[in-house]
Amino acid sequence: MANEIIPYIEMCRREGVSLQRGMNYALGENHSVILMSVRPGAPYADRFEDDGSTLVYEGHDIPRSSQHTDPKSINQPEYSPSGILTENGKFHRAAQDFKAGKRSPERVQVYEKIKQGIWSYNGVFHLVDSWQEQSEDRSVFKFKLKAVEGEEDFSVPVPTHSKLRRVIPTAVKLKVWERDGGKCAKCGAAEDLHFDHIIPWSKGGSSNTADNIQLLCGKHNLEKHAKIE
């Protein structure tokens, strides 16, 4: 469920792999996974646009090695030295094939590191575009993803028309986490937490202010659903 606060080890368990890479194309051949962060000092320039409904995700560098001690000075690779597509290349091909009408959009589950040791599940996105651009003295990949409602069942084909949604801004999540002390606002539980809209976004509630967001445990989040209290 989007807006869930999730430990890293649980992310790995759900995906069935050790998520050591930030970009993971076609896990189980039915969806992909990316790890992101917009925190100060984050290694890549990820950002949200369109009031939180669009994620622009930066591609990843070559691994640091004795040959490449400064990956930030080298163009982000589309192919490995052996000619195999990198994760950048795989996501880029999927985005370009979608734009050309050759396939449905790749569904991507997005996990965001909002604070050391704290991750938020940002839900399912559609990969809809990609390009390369200059960043200082090198070329980097950029990927555009649209946040969509639901679509957690990857055995079901991608709908012809998907409903867009908005992601709660990272700054708001951090403010709510600190205000609520990392505990459910109803019962004080410190596990199975979710960022919850007090007035649902579907009913006009804002995602952009901490006044409309609270921490709820799974039990109270399920009880509330889309009701306005």
Q: Torsion angle, CA of 116/121/124/127, rounded to 10 degrees?
A: 0
Structural domain range at position 32 = 4-167
39 and 117 assigned to the same domain: yes
Rounded to whole angstroms, how far apart are CA atoms 162 and 145?
13
Half-sphere exposure of 226 (CA within 13 A, CB side): 6
- Considering the entire predicted model, what is its pTM? 0.93
Query: Does 176 fall in a domain?
Result: yes
127 and 211 assigned to the same domain: no
159 and 77 assigned to the same domain: yes
Q: Which CATH number goes with the domain that contains 47?
A: 2.30.280.10
Last residue of a domain, one of 130, 145, 167: 167
pLDDT of res. 68: 85
pLDDT of res. 204: 82
| Maximum pairwise Cα distance, the chain | 59
Mean pLDDT for the stretch of residues 42-70: 94
Q: How confident is the model at residue 117 (pLDDT cuts 50, 70, 90)?
A: confident
Q: Which of 56-60, 117-121, 134-138 has the highest mean pLDDT?
A: 56-60
Rounded to whole angstroms, how far apart are CA atoms 111 and 124?
10
Mean pLDDT for the stretch of residues 177-206: 92
49 and 126 assigned to the same domain: yes
pLDDT of res. 122: 96
Query: Does 116 fall in a domain?
Result: yes
156 and 176 assigned to the same domain: no
Query: Does 160 fall in a domain?
Result: yes
117 and 58 assigned to the same domain: yes
148 and 124 assigned to the same domain: yes
pLDDT of res. 178: 95
pLDDT of res. 76: 98
CB 212 within 8 A of CB 200: no
- Angle made by CA atoms 69, 75, 76, in degrees to the nearest 5: 90
pLDDT of res. 66: 87
DSSP state of 50: G
98 and 27 assigned to the same domain: yes
Half-sphere exposure of 27 (CA within 13 A, CB side): 22
CB 12 within 8 A of CB 33: no
Mean pLDDT for the stretch of residues 136-160: 94
Query: Does 74 fall in a domain?
Result: yes
122 and 32 assigned to the same domain: yes
Query: Does 229 fall in a domain?
Result: no
Average pLDDT of every residue of the chain: 93
Residue from 64, 61, 68 nearest 141 by CA: 61
105 and 43 assigned to the same domain: yes
Query: Does 47 fall in a domain?
Result: yes
Last residue of a domain, one of 167, 193, 214: 167
Query: Does 94 fall in a domain?
Result: yes
- CB neighbour list of residue 181: distance below 8 Å, 6 or more residues apart: none
Give rounded-to-5 percent helix, strand, coil for the chain. Answer: 20, 30, 45
pLDDT of res. 23: 97
Q: Specify which residues 112 forms β-bridges with.
A: 36, 120
* Sign of the CA dihedral with 211 first, then 213, 216, and 221 last: positive
Q: How confident is the model at residue 227 (pLDDT cuts 50, 70, 90)?
A: low
Q: Specify which residues 80 forms β-bridges with.
A: none
Rounded to whole angstroms, how far apart are CA atoms 188 and 88?
42
Q: How confident is the model at residue 224 (pLDDT cuts 50, 70, 90)?
A: confident
198 and 128 assigned to the same domain: no
Last residue of a domain, one of 145, 167, 189: 167
Query: Does 78 fall in a domain?
Result: yes
Q: For 58-115, how does the pLDDT look when each residue is reduced to its tens digit (9 = 90+)?
A: 999 998 888 889 999 999 999 999 999 999 999 999 999 999 999 999 999 999 999 8
Domain count, the chain: 2
182 and 160 assigned to the same domain: no
